């Protein structure tokens, strides 16, 4: 009689014992599959493939994102938590705003001795976070996933893009991100610390970047967030930046920056009030502050010149917040 083990008599056990088609070699051996059989089935042209050391994928096509993450968690152990870019993506941040990273970054308790392997970066930590479960995957909270990603970046632009995305789409507060940087490892935190410090006490992240960018203008704004009214006292708006001598408004909020259509509707109505009052307005997408700062500066300089060549409309600055 040819004994091939329980896996041959009951092939459904393979899927039952696997997670999303990913299984440890030791689990296959518990089904009476010899190591030589496992090895042969993972050879080129075989039905399976080796995903990581001791981790088998039960098909031979390219692994999906879920299968890669599952393999990383099996490799790192039962208490592993996904963090970094992969966690940010699974929390709903837009991939185009995230740095390119094919590795999967996982956190494990400091007393565990699992090493990194291939596409899995294993980090031991004394501060293992309580995971958030998304699609059966344990994720670090977004604040932690964001700061863990920032610590592995070295230049300001990708750090700034990630922080903006985490704050605006992920609803993380700058204070929470700064606190996480303070209590965690200090390695690699200089750039995000500096950026968050520049944003402190400003109305929005977009305004923070705008205020920094305004230093490159030929004429800087005279006021930030003032209230503007018409000659009869009717409310017009509260622009992000304002040049009072020429009645030029700069607005950075838009549908690209806000999540809800009500925000977009308010933006349209506000711009209509500006036009009715004769105010020149420049509207900038928040993404432009990151991707095309030189173009934003050129547009504002041209708008200021054009506004200075027409009669100033009869509008009044009410709140003189600088």
Q: What length does the chain have?
A: 322
Q: Are residues 44 and 143 in the same domain?
A: no
Average pLDDT for 145-168? 90
Average pLDDT for 82-99? 93
More confident residue, 296 or 195: 296
Measured distance CA(110)–CA(308) in Å, rounded: 63
Q: Are residues 121 and 23 in the same domain?
A: no
Domain membership of residue 70 (yes or no) is: no
User: What is the DSSP code string of 223-280?
Assistant: EES--EEETTS-EEE--SEEETTTTEEEE---TTT-SSHHHHHHHHHHHHHHHHHT-E
Q: Are residues 243 and 311 in the same domain?
A: yes
Q: Are residues 226 and 128 in the same domain?
A: no
Q: Measuring CA to CA, which residue among 246, 231, 221 is closest to residue 320?
A: 221
pLDDT digits (tens, 9 = 90+) for 232-252: 999 999 998 999 999 999 998
Measured distance CA(307)–CA(313) in Å, rounded: 10
Measured distance CA(191)–CA(197) in Å, rounded: 10
Sign of CA dihedral 168, 172, 175, 178: negative
Beta bridge partners of 250: 241, 282
Highest mean pLDDT out of 17-26, 136-145, 290-299: 136-145
Domain membership of residue 302 (yes or no) is: yes
Q: Are residues 218 and 163 in the same domain?
A: no
Measured distance CA(115)–CA(151) in Å, rounded: 19
Number of domains into which the chain is organized: 3
Domain membership of residue 2 (yes or no) is: no
SS3 19: strand
Q: Are residues 195 and 226 in the same domain?
A: no
Task: Give pLDDT, residue 269.
Answer: 85
- Considering 158, 186, 201, which residue would you say is the last residue of a domain? 201
Q: Are residues 83 and 197 in the same domain?
A: yes
Measured distance CA(199)–CA(194) in Å, rounded: 9
- Considering 39, 63, 87, which residue would you say is the last residue of a domain? 63
Residue 322 pLDDT greater than 70, yes or no? no
Domain membership of residue 3 (yes or no) is: no
Q: Are residues 223 and 260 in the same domain?
A: yes
Beta bridge partners of 49: 57
Task: Give pLDDT, residue 259.
Answer: 41
Average pLDDT for 94-118? 92
Q: Count the helices and strands in the chain (H runs, E runs).
A: 14, 15
Q: Are residues 233 and 292 in the same domain?
A: yes
Domain membership of residue 71 (yes or no) is: no
Q: Measuring CA to CA, which residue among 31, 79, 21 is closest to residue 51?
A: 21
Task: Give pLDDT, residue 107.
Answer: 97
More confident residue, 250 or 205: 250
Q: Are residues 91 and 195 in the same domain?
A: yes
Residue 1 pLDDT greater than 50, yes or no? no
User: What is the DSSP code string of 40-102?
Assistant: HHTSTTSS-EEEETTEEESSSSPPPHHHHHHHHHHHH-TT-EEEHHHHHHHTT--GGGSPP--
Q: Are residues 100 and 193 in the same domain?
A: yes
Report the 3 state secondary structure along 158-212: HHHHHHHHHHHCCCCCHHHHHHHHHHCCCCCCHHHHHHHHHHCCCCCHHHHHHHH
Percent of the chain at pLDDT exceeding 70: 89
Task: Say if CB 12 and CB 36 are below 8 A apart.
Answer: no
Find the domain containing 42 and state its range: 8-63
Domain membership of residue 14 (yes or no) is: yes
Q: Measuring CA to CA, which residue among 240, 146, 234 is closest to residue 195?
A: 146
Domain membership of residue 1 (yes or no) is: no
Task: Give pLDDT, residue 32.
Answer: 78
Average pLDDT for 275-302? 91
Q: Are residues 59 and 81 in the same domain?
A: no
Q: Crossing angle, helix 190-199 and helix 142-150, to 10 degrees?
A: 120
pTM here is 0.64
- Considering 160, 180, 201, which residue would you say is the last residue of a domain? 201
Least confident of 108-122, 164-178, 210-224, 288-302: 164-178
Mean pLDDT across the chain? 87
Domain membership of residue 160 (yes or no) is: yes
Task: Say if CB 35 and CB 85 are below 8 A apart.
Answer: no
């Amino acid at each position: 009689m040819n004994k091939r083990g329980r896996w041959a008599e009951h092939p459904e056990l393979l899927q039952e014992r696997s997670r999303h088609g990913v299984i440890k070699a030791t689990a296959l051996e518990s089904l009476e599959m010899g190591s030589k059989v496992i090895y042969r089935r993972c050879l080129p042209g075989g039905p399976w493939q080796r995903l990581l050391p001791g981790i088998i994928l039960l098909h031979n096509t390219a692994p999906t994102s879920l299968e890669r993450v599952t393999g990383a968690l099996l490799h790192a152990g039962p208490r592993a938590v996904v963090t970094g870019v992969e966690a940010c993506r699974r929390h709903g941040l837009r991939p185009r705003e995230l740095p390119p990273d094919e590795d999967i970054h996982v956190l494990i308790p400091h007393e565990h001795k699992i090493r990194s392997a291939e596409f899995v970066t294993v980090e031991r930590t004394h501060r293992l976070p309580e995971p958030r479960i998304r699609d059966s995957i344990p994720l670090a909270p977004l604040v932690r996933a964001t700061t863990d990603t920032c610590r592995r970046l070295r230049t300001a632009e990708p750090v700034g893009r990630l922080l903006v995305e985490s704050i605006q789409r992920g609803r993380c507060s700058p204070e929470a991100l700064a606190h996480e940087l303070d209590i965690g490892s200090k390695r690699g935190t200089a750039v995000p610390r500096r950026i968050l410090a520049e944003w402190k006490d400003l109305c929005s992240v977009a305004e923070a970047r705008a205020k920094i960018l305004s230093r490159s203008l030929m004429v800087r704004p005279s006021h930030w967030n003032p209230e503007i009214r018409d000659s009869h006292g009717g409310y017009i708006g509260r622009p992000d930046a304002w040049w009072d001598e020429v009645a030029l408004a700069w607005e950075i909020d838009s549908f690209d920056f806000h999540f809800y259509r009500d925000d977009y509707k308010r933006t349209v109505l506000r711009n209509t009030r500006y036009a009715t009052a004769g105010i020149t307005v420049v509207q900038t997408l928040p993404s432009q502050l990151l991707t095309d700062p030189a173009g934003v500066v050129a547009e504002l300089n041209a708008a200021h010149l054009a506004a200075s060549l027409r009669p100033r409309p009869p509008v009044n600055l009410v709140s003189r917040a600088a």
